[in-house]
Amino acid sequence: MTDDTTVTSKGTSTIPLAIRRKAGIGTGTIINWTLKDDGQIVVRKKSGALNEAQRHVRTRAGQWDGKISGAELLRRTRP
C-alpha cells in the first residue's frame, strides 16, 4: 500500500487514513523515523506504545465489579 502526501512549511505531513487504519495508528501513537545511509526513510509505529484510545481504556480497566453488558462497557469507556 502506498500513497503520496505533501510536506508543509512546518515539516508536517498527513498519514493517509487507509494506512493509519491498517497500521493501527491513532492519536498519540509514537512514530519512529530512521534515515538509512542510502537516503531511504523508514517509518515505523513504535511497538509497545499505546495510542490515546488504548491509554483511555487502560486507565479504566479493573474498575467494574460483576458482569456488565457490552453497551455499558462502551458507555463507560468512551471519552
Question: Using 50, 70 and 90 to split pLDDT, how confident is the model at 59?
Answer: confident
Q: What percent of the chain has pLDDT over 90?
A: 37
pLDDT confidence bin for 63, thresholds 50/70/90: low
- Is the pLDDT at 40 greater than 90? The verdict is yes
Judge whether residue 75 has pLDDT over 80.
yes
The distance in angstroms from the start CA to the end CA of the chain is 32
| Burial category of 27 from C-beta neighbours within 10 Å (exposed 0-12, middle 13-18, buried 19 and up) | exposed
When pLDDT is averaged across residues 17-38 and rounded to a whole number, the result is 90
Tell me the residue type at 79.
P
Residue found under cell 511497538: 47
Number of separate helices (H) and strands (E) present in the chain: 3, 2
E strand spans, 1-79:
31-35, 41-45
pTM of the model: 0.56
